[in-house]
Amino acid sequence: MFFARLAGGFVLRTLANASEAFEGDMMLGVVFMAIGQATVSHIAHERHLTDFDAGLTPDDMRRPVSVLSIAGSLNIPRETARRYVARLIDLGYCQRVHGRRVIVPGEVYRRPELVQALGHNKRDLLMLIAAYRRAGAPIEDAG
């Protein structure tokens, strides 16, 4: 139960960071994160640490994702996902490619509000790892 509390606290802090970065609209941040993750999920995590500048996947390696795919991954209605994606495009956080599909361009992650949110998320993740270790659980068991 202790580890569930740790993980729950991390998730809640991540959602609060998303809400702050997206002008109080947590769901907009969640849809943004879902698009960002979906477009790079085909790339091994290790490559982000070694092969890409600042850990950012080049735009030409990002796989565009459909609104339907995002709706399915978040278990929300397609129309709800479509509205959030349209808003992200209007705000310049996403761009349409290949017709109806979208990506989060790498340059977006350099925006001050996202740099701050990602910095807070990294801090919170390191706090989670430290608390996990203090509890006596080896980090290798986290998988």
pLDDT digits (tens, 9 = 90+) for 53-67: 666 788 888 899 999
pTM of the model: 0.85
Q: Which positions ≥6 away from 75 have C-beta within 8 Å?
A: none
pLDDT per position as a tens digit, 8-48: 888 999 999 888 889 899 999 999 999 999 998 888 766 65
Distance of alpha carbon 74 from alpha carbon 66, whole angstroms = 13
Residues 6+ apart with CB under 8 A from 15: 26, 29, 30
Nearest to 54 by CA among 101, 102, 122: 122
